[in-house]
Amino acid sequence: MATHQELSLSTIDQAVAKASAAALVWGESKAAARAALLRGLAAALEQHQAELVVLADRESGLGAARLSGEVARTAFQLRGFADAVEAGLPYQRVNDAAVVGAPPVGRPQLIRVKRALGPVAMFSASNFPFAFSVLGGDTASALAAGCPVVVKAHPGHPELSLAVYELARRVVARQKLPEGVLTIIEGASRAAAGYLVQHPQIAAVAFTGSFQGGTALWKLVNERPRPIPFYGELGSINPLVALPAALEGNSQKLAALLAGSITQGCGQFCTSPGVIVVLDHPASERFIAELAEAIRPVKTHRMLTPSMKKGFDGASDTVASYATRVFQPEVDGVGPAPRLFSVGAKDFTINADLREEMFGPAALIVKATSIEQVEDVLGAISGTLTTTLWGVNEDSESNRALVHAAEAISGRVLFAGVPTGVAVCAAQQHGGPWPSSTAAQTTSVGYAAIERFLRPVALQDAPAWVLAM
Give me the domains of the chain, ranges plus CATH numbers.
Answer: 4-234+437-467 (3.40.605.10), 239-414 (3.40.309.10)
Q: Is 92 left (phi over 0), alpha (psi -120 to 50) or beta?
A: beta
Closest of 209, 223, 198 to residue 16, by C-alpha: 198
Kindly state the DSSP code that residue 107 receives in the 8-state scheme.
B
Q: Looking at residue 381, what is its pLDDT?
A: 95
CA–CA separation, 420 vs 69, rounded Å? 14
Q: How confident is the model at residue 7 (pLDDT cuts 50, 70, 90)?
A: low
Q: Looking at residue 1, what is its pLDDT?
A: 43
- Read out DSSP for 353-419? GGGS---SSEEEEEEESSHHHHHHHHHHH--EEEEEEES--S--HHHHHHHHHHHHHEEEEESSS-S
Given a cut of 60, whether residue 415 has pLDDT beyond it is: yes
Any bridge partners for residue 388, and if so which? 240, 414
Q: Looking at residue 8, what is its pLDDT?
A: 81
Share of the chain above pLDDT 90, in %: 94
Any bridge partners for residue 94, and if so which? 112
Q: Looking at residue 468, what is its pLDDT?
A: 87
Q: How confident is the model at residue 5 (pLDDT cuts 50, 70, 90)?
A: low
Catalytic positions are 233, 270
Q: Looking at residue 232, what is its pLDDT?
A: 97
Q: Looking at residue 119, what is its pLDDT?
A: 98
Given a cut of 90, whether residue 311 has pLDDT beyond it is: yes
Given a cut of 60, whether residue 2 has pLDDT beyond it is: no
384-390/239-242 β-pairing: parallel
- Full-model pTM: 0.95
Report the 10 Å Cβ neighbour count for 385: 29
Condensed to tens digits (0 to 9), the pLDDT of residues 420-453 reads: 999 999 999 999 999 999 999 999 999 999 999 9
Condensed to tens digits (0 to 9), the pLDDT of residues 343-381 reads: 999 999 999 999 999 999 999 999 999 999 999 999 999
